[in-house]
Homo-oligomer: A and B are copies of this chain.
Amino acid sequence: MAPVSPLAPAAFPALPVIGGVRFAAVAAGVRYKGRTDVMLAELAPGTVVAGVFTRSATRAAPVLDCQAKNGGAADGGAAILVNSGNSNAFTGRGGMDAVAQIAAAVAGTLGIDAGRVFTSSTGVIGEPLPWDRITAKVAELRDNLAPDAMAGAARAIMTTDTFAKGATVTVQVGGQMGGQAGGQMGGQKGGQSVRIAGIAKGSGMIAPDMATMLVYLFTDARIGHADLQALVSSINARTFNCITVDSDTSTSDTLLIAATGASGVDVTGSAAFAAGLEQVMLDLALQVVRDGEGATKFVEVQVTGAASDADAHRVGMAIANSPLVKTAIAGQDANWGRIVMAVGKSGAQADRDRLGIRFGDIWVARDGWRAPEYSEAEASAYMKRQELVIGVEMGIGAGRATVWTCDLTHGYIDINADYRS
């Protein structure tokens, strides 16, 4: 068991009860011993579920199943079941059978349609999922369902995570946004209040270029499927799609959001709701980076002045994924030459002689050359911080993007040279 990441938040947030959702977790022994490894979320009738999924060509059976079910009728109740320890990926026809068995057991036990049971699996790839260990526990999960048990669900889905990840916000629709992600409800200044809370897992195989890791979001807001799907897809592009730990995209990346409507507040077209949802999604995305395998530094890469936003994102990701940049950060070395290298290989339009680079507010290079005021001592002192900003000014346009990553350390090698065995 790895020690908790030095970049972890001080505490798991107090998550509110979301009307229309109940949670349970159980130890089914899928792979791990002595810990919970299956979570169930029961969703009240009328709950709208939307999602974003990996575009990996080798995506796992439960991902394919979720995609097929996304957008289905929301009349009856619904459920989300997630296991850790085994990803049910690259498991052939047997993989889909395992998903069907689990969905049928949950549907039968909760009295809902199997087409409304969404499942995810996370853990080792290529091993048959012992689904019978999970179905044997579904009745126990039902008996333990409770509205205030979301934190236990967050713990049950962990794999190499060193801390559970949760975030929440309360939104005043028609009023102002209150509260903070990871904090309690804020003051209610007019309007009607809606709650959003979510949990996530992930710390390695993180480069969700198209989707995300496992993320589950719950809200008591009322919103239609098309609006909810459009909102979550759009925000995903600015949050989970902008993080990377190791450039490796999972076969299981899944984000599901469930809107129960229990608050009675319609949030269709609400900018406040969109902002609140983005706050929770960004908070969870950054927690995934903060639990990057072996991470000792949290790094924000800010790219400005690119030919387009897409080019800026390309540059940011090239920097954030470069092993040479990430090892330099681990070594607290202000090695900006490696940032120049990453800009050059990114494929984005670049003019070497307009390029500027800064660490925090310290400009180390400007106009394609070492900044006149550059001080190695000052830059080196900055690199000793735990939270770093790398700024790149491309000097050719208005495109901008921000991405987040962590450093590459001996800890990453330790974890991944023997994770499976």
Within residues 196 to 228 of chain A, which ones have a CB less than 8 A from any CB in chain B?
204-205, 207, 209
Contact flags (1/0) for A45-74 with B, using CB distance below 8 Å?
Answer: 000000000101111000000000000000
Q: Does A7 have its Cβ within 8 Å of any Cβ on chain B?
A: no
Within residues 343 to 380 of chain A, which ones have a CB less than 8 A from any CB in chain B?
343-346, 348-350, 352-353, 355, 365, 367-370
A365 and B90 contacting across the interface, CB-CB below 8 Å: yes
Q: Does A94 have its Cβ within 8 Å of any Cβ on chain B?
A: yes
The answer for the CA separation of A328 and B419 in the assembled complex, in Å, is 8
Q: Does A143 have its Cβ within 8 Å of any Cβ on chain B?
A: no
A349: nearest residue on chain B (CB-CB)? Answer: B57
B322 and A248 contacting across the interface, CB-CB below 8 Å: yes
The answer for the CA separation of A204 and B327 in the assembled complex, in Å, is 12
B92 and A367 contacting across the interface, CB-CB below 8 Å: yes
Q: Does A35 have its Cβ within 8 Å of any Cβ on chain B?
A: no
8 closest cross-chain pairs (CB), A and B: A125-B337, A331-B417, A58-B344, A92-B369, A56-B344, A327-B416, A249-B345, A57-B350
B59 and A344 contacting across the interface, CB-CB below 8 Å: yes
Contact partners of A251 in chain B: CB under 8 A: 340-341, 344
The answer for the CA separation of A416 and B413 in the assembled complex, in Å, is 14
> Given known contacts A126-B370, A413-B413, A420-B333, is B249 in contact with A340 (CB within 8 Å)?
no
A345 and B90 contacting across the interface, CB-CB below 8 Å: no
The answer for the CA separation of A107 and B277 in the assembled complex, in Å, is 66
A337 and B90 contacting across the interface, CB-CB below 8 Å: yes
Q: Does A142 have its Cβ within 8 Å of any Cβ on chain B?
A: no
User: How many copies of this chain?
Assistant: 2
Q: Does A189 have its Cβ within 8 Å of any Cβ on chain B?
A: no
Q: Give the shortest distance, in Å, between A245 (CB) and chain B (any CB).
A: 9
The answer for the CA separation of A100 and B250 in the assembled complex, in Å, is 49
Which residues from chain A sit less than 8 Å from chain B, CB to CB? 54, 56-59, 87, 89-94, 124-128, 204-205, 207, 209, 246-251, 321-324, 327-328, 330-331, 333, 335-338, 340-346, 348-350, 352-353, 355, 365, 367-370, 408-410, 412-413, 416-421
Q: Give the shortest distance, in Å, between A362 (CB) and chain B (any CB).
A: 15
* Among candidates B90, B344, B410, residue contacting A368 with C-beta atoms closer than 8 Å: B90
> Given known contacts A92-B367, A353-B92, is B324 in contact with A205 (CB within 8 Å)?
yes
The answer for the CA separation of A54 and B347 in the assembled complex, in Å, is 12
Contact partners of A328 in chain B: CB under 8 A: 416-417, 420
A340 and B89 contacting across the interface, CB-CB below 8 Å: yes
The answer for the CA separation of A341 and B367 in the assembled complex, in Å, is 40
> Given known contacts A251-B340, A409-B413, A416-B331, is B126 in contact with A350 (CB within 8 Å)?
no
Q: Which of A56, A345, A348, A410 has the most CB of B within 10 A?
A: A345
The interface residues of chain A, by DSSP majority, are classed as loop
A126 and B336 contacting across the interface, CB-CB below 8 Å: yes
B418 and A331 contacting across the interface, CB-CB below 8 Å: yes
A418 and B57 contacting across the interface, CB-CB below 8 Å: no
A336: nearest residue on chain B (CB-CB)? Answer: B126
The answer for the CA separation of A370 and B93 in the assembled complex, in Å, is 11
Contact partners of A91 in chain B: CB under 8 A: 369
Contact partners of A333 in chain B: CB under 8 A: 417-421
Contact partners of A412 in chain B: CB under 8 A: 323, 327
Q: Give the shortest distance, in Å, between A178 (CB) and chain B (any CB).
A: 40
The answer for the CA separation of A421 and B376 in the assembled complex, in Å, is 11
Contact partners of A330 in chain B: CB under 8 A: 413, 417
Contact partners of A249 in chain B: CB under 8 A: 341, 344-345
A209: nearest residue on chain B (CB-CB)? Answer: B345
> Given known contacts A248-B323, A345-B207, is B420 in contact with A92 (CB within 8 Å)?
no
